[in-house]
Amino acid sequence: MALTLADCDRMAEAVAAAGVKFMMAYQMRHDPSNQKIKELMESGAVGRISLVRRRHCIPVLFNETFVNGPTRWHLDPVQNMGMFMDDASHATDFLHWILGRPTSVMAEIDNTITDVAPDDTGVAIYRYASGAMAVLLNSSVTLAGENTTEVYGDQGVIIQNHDDVPSTNVVLPSHPIALKLYRRDATHWQDLEIAIPPTHAERIAAVPRAFLDCIKYDLAPPTTAEDGRISIEMVLGAYRSAREGKRIHFPLTE
C-alpha cells in the first residue's frame, strides 16, 4: 500500500473524503486453496492453532530482465524499501486474514547471496495473543519453491503446496496435491481436491473481478485500506526487529 504508516493513513483519509471504493489487490485472499484453509481454521477442523508457517518464495533476483529491465524500480529502496517489503506484504496480509493481528515480531532480513537489492531474504516470527506463532519465510533468491502453508492445530494439520508463481512456472509432479488435511482421529491424509491453476494469470484472475463486483453491485471491498495498513505495519515491524536486533511489539509508532 505504501512504505510508511503515515502514507497509508493519508491514502485512507483521501479515500474516505472522496467517498470512493478502495480495495487492496492482495491476491492470496482470492485463491481457492487459501480460502479453504481459512474455512477449515474457522470451522475448528484443526482445533486450537499452535503454529502457521508460510514459505513464500520467488526467483526474481536471478532474472536478468527483472534486475536490469523496466522492473528495476523494485530494487530501489526509495520506491520499494526492499524485497521483503515487495513480496512479504502479500504473506503478512494472508497471516492477518487467517490469524488476526499479531502482538509482536522478531525477524532477520538481509542479503544472503546477492547485492542487487537492499535485501533478498527474510524470516519473521509473529506472536499472537492466543499464544500461536506464525513463521514467514520470504526469499527472492529461490530457484524453485513449492510455496507452502502449514497449519498445525491440536486437532489436525493442513498442508498446502504448489501455491503462487514458482509452482505454476515449473513442471509439477505426476500427482500433485494442492491441499491436504490430517485429523487427530484419521489414519491417512485427506486430499481436499483443490485444482491447481495452469497459469499464474488464471490464479489471480479473481482479484479484479472482486473489485468490479464492488462497483457493479455497490458492495463493501473484501480487503480494505485498514487491511493494507496492517500488512505494512507487520512488514515494518519485521524490518525494525532485524535492524535493532530485538522483539518489536504492535501497534507500531513511527
**pLDDT tens digits along 88-100:** 999 999 999 999 9
* Mean pLDDT across the chain: 92
User: What pLDDT is stored for residue 165 in this prediction?
Assistant: 59
CA distance 214 to 208: 10
Lowest-confidence segment of 4-8, 36-40, 203-207, 246-250 by average pLDDT: 203-207
CA distance 242 to 122: 9
Class in CATH terms, 5-245: alpha beta
Q: Among 67, 41, 39, 2, which Cα is nearest to 228's?
A: 2
**pLDDT tens digits along 77-86:** 999 999 999 9
What are the extents of the domains in the chain? 5-245
DSSP 139-159: ES--S----EEEEEESSEEEE
Q: Is this structure's pTM higher than 0.75?
A: yes
Q: Among 199, 180, 178, which Cα is nearest to 190's?
A: 180
**At 138, phi and psi to the nearest 5?**
-125, 125
Task: Give 227's DSSP letter.
Answer: H
